[in-house]
Structure 1
Amino acid sequence: MAYTGEVEVGGPPDVHELTDLIITKAAVGPMDNNAYVLRCRATDEQLLIDAAAEPHTLLEVIGADGIGAVVTTHRHRDHWQALAEVVAATGARTYAGRLDAPALPVPTDVPVDDGDTISFGRIRLTARHLVGHTPGSIVLVYDDPHGHPHVFTGDCLFPGGVGNTHDDPAAFTSLLTGVTAKLFDVLPDESWVYPGHGRDTTLGDERPHLAEWRERGW
């Protein structure tokens, strides 16, 4: 079946099969978070983005091959509730944005800065640091050599707007400016967006609304 990105807590994951990479998206409770298991086709090495909750569910999606790394997109608790259990079960190396890493419940092996590369197997992800939702949020960009980019945005970008900036105008301006400069200004419309909650989107679907978001202030 074709990938839709439509998942729900308690339901099956959805799988997006690319030429070099397999992306498995699962929803976990209690806050309907998305977690993503990425598998390099060439080596079968895996990486998890956001050990959000339900460690048993995530470990089932990960499977017997385990994971070599887990990346936490930002410090908010709903994105790391299963982190300690998943790391204990897999021995995975931990990555997180440098400014958010101290708030996580397990030590971060590799603090991540803007432009850093996270590699597993033959896959390379580029981290972009965005300030506004939290001080140290990161998004991850996979520039597919056989197609368009794929972007894992945590809580920085969703269908319909940027992430929650808690009615702070400076934080909102920072986040929208960062998303515009580091994603919309440099990536094509076809770029697929995998957010931390809810359904997927593309940069092309969201690009026409940037001015509207700035005007409304959220």
Structure 2
Amino acid sequence: MGASIERVVTSGMFALDGGEWEVDNNVWLVGDDREVLVVDAAHDATAIAAAVGDRRVVAIVCTHAHNDHVNAAIELARATGAEIHLHPHDEVLWKLAHPDHVPDRPLADGDTFTVAGTRLRVLHTPGHAPGAICLYAPDLGALFSGDTLFAGGPGATGRSHSDFGTIIDSIRDRLLVLPADTVVYTGHGDATTIGDEAPHLDEWIARGA
């Protein structure tokens, strides 16, 4: 039996640049009945650990370091013994959430994780955050996009450490080249597909110009 994908929705506050917003986050578990990889430990380590159960956590992978995506990472790591992986370009954001701790492992473009016999590849996709990454699992036809790509367009770029032109380049050059039937599992809200989003690239550029 190959890997499957599970979603845990957690709720809390996103805080940046002096503002706070209530958000629901998607936490993705990829694996089988023996082991899982956690994508974005958001808000509620207890709820995530309950969904993991007695399975081994091979890694806690952060798609970026906005507080709403990493605020449960340290507690979950302590509970499971798993290591936290983050792209080093996002250390400035990580320190806002966890000033007294550091991630365990750096992520780099092209890195791979294997869980339940399924390989996931790291794609560095800056723009929403400088160290933003996506995880692509070709055998599952799945992309875990964090806040880089949503159903309806790019992630937000109106706050510190973000850039609209950069996120457009990331989406066009790294994501929209994937197979059209690739399912995009987002950091918030509903999933979409590469094929559903690709025709709207010019609209996003015009809207953001």
TM-score of the aligned structures, taking structure 2 as reference length: 0.86
| 1-structure distance, mates of 2:132, 2:47 | 25
Deviations 1:122-170 (A, max 9, x none): 22111111111111000000011xxx620000000001110001079x8
Q: 1:206 aligns with which of 197, 203, 208?
A: 197
Counterpart in the other structure of 2:170? 178
| 2-structure distance, mates of 1:98, 1:20 | 31
Aligned residues: 193
Alignment of 1:1-218 (within 5 A): 20-30=2-12, 31-40=23-32, 44-101=34-91, 103-104=93-94, 105=98, 106-144=101-139, 149-166=141-158, 171-185=163-177, 187-217=178-208
- Aligned partner of residue 166 in structure 2, secondary structure: helix
Q: Work out whether residues 52 and 81 of structure 1, in 8 Å CA contact, stay in contact via their aligned partners in 2.
A: yes
Q: Work out whether residues 40 and 122 of structure 1, in 8 Å CA contact, stay in contact via their aligned partners in 2.
A: no
Q: Work out whether residues 45 and 68 of structure 1, in 8 Å CA contact, stay in contact via their aligned partners in 2.
A: yes
| 2-structure distance, mates of 1:103, 1:176 | 21
| 2-structure distance, mates of 1:119, 1:110 | 16
Q: Work out whether residues 101 and 111 of structure 1, in 8 Å CA contact, stay in contact via their aligned partners in 2.
A: no
| 2-structure distance, mates of 1:72, 1:140 | 10
Answer 1 or 2: which has greater helix percent: 2
Deviations 1:2-51 (A, max 9, x none): xxxxxxxxxxxxxxxxx62111111100210000111146xx22110000
Counterpart of 1:63 in structure 2: which amino acid?
A: G
- Aligned partner of residue 32 in structure 1, secondary structure: strand
| 1-structure distance, mates of 2:93, 2:208 | 28
Q: Work out whether residues 183 and 192 of structure 2, in 8 Å CA contact, stay in contact via their aligned partners in 1.
A: yes
Q: 1:85 to 1:167 in 2, by over 3 A?
A: closer
Share of identical aligned residues, percent?
36
Q: Work out whether residues 3 and 115 of structure 2, in 8 Å CA contact, stay in contact via their aligned partners in 1.
A: no
- Aligned partner of residue 29 in structure 1, secondary structure: strand
Unaligned 5+ runs, structure 1: 1-18
Deviations 1:181-205 (A, max 9, x none): 11112x1110000000000000111
How big is the shift at 1:94?
Answer: 1.5
Q: Work out whether residues 40 and 123 of structure 1, in 8 Å CA contact, stay in contact via their aligned partners in 2.
A: no
Counterpart of 1:111 in structure 2: which amino acid?
A: P
| 1-structure distance, mates of 2:3, 2:58 | 15
RMSD after superposition = 1.9
Unaligned 5+ runs, structure 2: 13-22
Q: Work out whether residues 150 and 191 of structure 1, in 8 Å CA contact, stay in contact via their aligned partners in 2.
A: yes
Q: Work out whether residues 7 and 27 of structure 2, in 8 Å CA contact, stay in contact via their aligned partners in 1.
A: yes
Q: 1:101 to 1:123 in 2, by over 3 A?
A: farther
